A and B are shown apart, each in its own frame.
Chain A
């Protein structure tokens, strides 16, 4: 993730995420030869499987299918991680503050109040593990791919804009009734 900047307009913070490779970047020859629709299906299935695996193993809860039209447009927490190499882009995980607190509590194995620092830590790790698991599942197509350090944004009044110009993969799920969304924005090169 090369560039990330925030600006404030009409009281709402706008986060603009840019992912540009400093190396060759873009799609590898294997990916370039894959029809876009097939790539979309393959990556969607891999992202969904990655999210389900991470929640089952590390949170101890199954993610359920979600009606994406019901997802609130404003999320209280957004965790992001950059990808560089054979795949170049940004993976984000978004959820409400209630869902974030429950995810962190279950990861910590406690019912006690969870600090904001722990919530950010937990969501950063979720995003990191989903990205790592996704990467492993598409390793035949994109074997060389590095992950950045995760970033977590929290607040009630912000909008996300991605400058990444390629494929967008979105997976909507519910976690204990709360909607969560994972988005993978890939750079075209």
Chain B
């Protein structure tokens, strides 16, 4: 697997740092990490940049993660990029909505590096 370019979307800078560290602790090779604090910033980033993986919170100001996933379906750079939600909102309603909007996976906070590995590596291995 090639070193990854990852976009981490979360309104908490502490949480973005934890997600970044957990990816590395999970053994994933990281080439570059981009950060966004809400869906609007993430969309703007994706207009300019191609990444291999997007990890997004749901509850965020300006634009939440569910709307971000929906709008990314129309962004050329996001086509085929796995999107995984990382959030405390792990109720059935949110999971169903995220997956139907285009997310490929779901990780509930709090999480361990092992859980990151279990959920993300299979998605990356499916990539052409």
Contact = CB atoms under 8 A, between A and B. Distances in A.
Contacts of A108: 14, 17
A10 B80 CA distance: 61
A121 B13 contact: yes
B59 A54 contact: no
B88 interface: yes
A118 B91 contact: no
Nearest to A114: B14
Contacts of A118: 13-14
A94 to B, nearest CB: 19
A58 interface: yes
Contacts of A92: none
Interface in B9-35: 12-15, 17-18, 21
Interface string A128-146: 1101110110010001110
Contacts of A147: 59, 88-89
Contacts of B112: 57
A109 B111 CA distance: 16
B108 interface: yes
Nearest to A81: B88
Interface of B: 12-15, 17-18, 21, 59, 61, 87-93, 108-112
Given A132-B88, A133-B88, 6 more contacts: A57-B112, A129-B88, A129-B109, A132-B87, A133-B110, A143-B91
| Those 8 A-B pairs whose CB atoms lie nearest each other, nearest first | A132-B88, A57-B110, A58-B110, A122-B14, A121-B14, A54-B110, A129-B109, A125-B12
